[in-house]
Amino acid sequence: MDKDILGKNVSQKIKDEIHNYTNPLTIKPGLAVIQIGEHAASDVYINQKRKAALEVGITFKHFKFTKDDPEDLIIQKIKELNQNEYVSGIIVQLPIPINFDKNKIINSIDPSKDVDGLTSISLGNLVTKQDGFISCTPAGIMLLLNEYKIDVSRKHVVIIGRSELVGKPLMNLMLNHDATVTICHSKTINIDLLTKQADILIVAAGKPELIKSDMIKNSAIVIDVGINRVNGKIIGDVDYANVYDKVSYITPVPGGVGPMTVAMLLKNVMISHQKASHTYNHQEQPSEPTISLSNGQKYYITDKLVLDGKNYLYLLDQETKTDVKFCEFDEANNKLILVNNDDINAKLAFMIFEKYVS
List, for residues 178-206, the tens digit of each pLDDT value.
Answer: 999 999 999 999 999 999 999 999 999 99
Task: Summarize pLDDT for 280-304 with one digit per residue, the tens.
Answer: 333 344 444 566 655 566 666 666 6
Count structural domains, the chain: 3
Residues 97, 158, single domain; the answer is no
Question: For residue 342, what pLDDT is reported?
Answer: 54
Characterize 118-149 residue by residue with b for buried, 16 or more Cβ atoms within 10 angstroms of its Cβ, and e for exposed: bbebbbebbeeeeebbbbbbbbbbbbbbeeee
Range(s) of the domain holding residue 61: 7-116+261-275
Is 17 exposed, middle or buried, given 0-12, 13-18 or 19+ CB atoms closer than 10 A? middle
Residues 189, 265, single domain; the answer is no
CA dihedral 93, 96, 102, 105 (to 10 degrees): -60
The answer for residues whose C-beta is within 8 angstroms of residue 154's C-beta and 6 or more apart is 178, 179, 180
Instruction: Tell me, yes or no, whether 130 lies in a domain.
Output: no
Among 241, 275, 309, identify where a domain stops. Answer: 275
Chain length of the chain: 358
Task: Summarize pLDDT for 212-250 with one digit per residue, the tens.
Answer: 999 999 999 999 999 998 998 999 999 999 999 999 999
CATH number at residue 253: 3.40.50.720
Cα 357 to Cα 306: distance, rounded to the nearest angstrom: 13
Residues 177, 225, single domain; the answer is yes
DSSP 8-class letter at 241: H
Instruction: Tell me, yes or no, whether 284 lies in a domain.
Output: no
The answer for residues whose C-beta is within 8 angstroms of residue 267's C-beta and 6 or more apart is 14, 17, 18
Question: Could you say which residues of the chain have pLDDT below 70?
Answer: 1, 277-309, 312-326, 331, 334-358
Question: For residue 263, what pLDDT is reported?
Answer: 96
Question: For residue 104, what pLDDT is reported?
Answer: 97
The answer for residues whose C-beta is within 8 angstroms of residue 101's C-beta and 6 or more apart is 71
Instruction: Tell me, yes or no, whether 37 lies in a domain.
Output: yes
Residues 344, 297, single domain; the answer is yes
Q: Spell out the alpha helix ranges (H) of the chain.
A: 7-22, 40-55, 71-83, 102-106, 120-127, 136-147, 167-176, 191-195, 240-243, 258-275, 344-356
Instruction: Tell me, yes or no, whether 65 lies in a domain.
Output: yes
The set of catalytic residues is 49, 93, 116
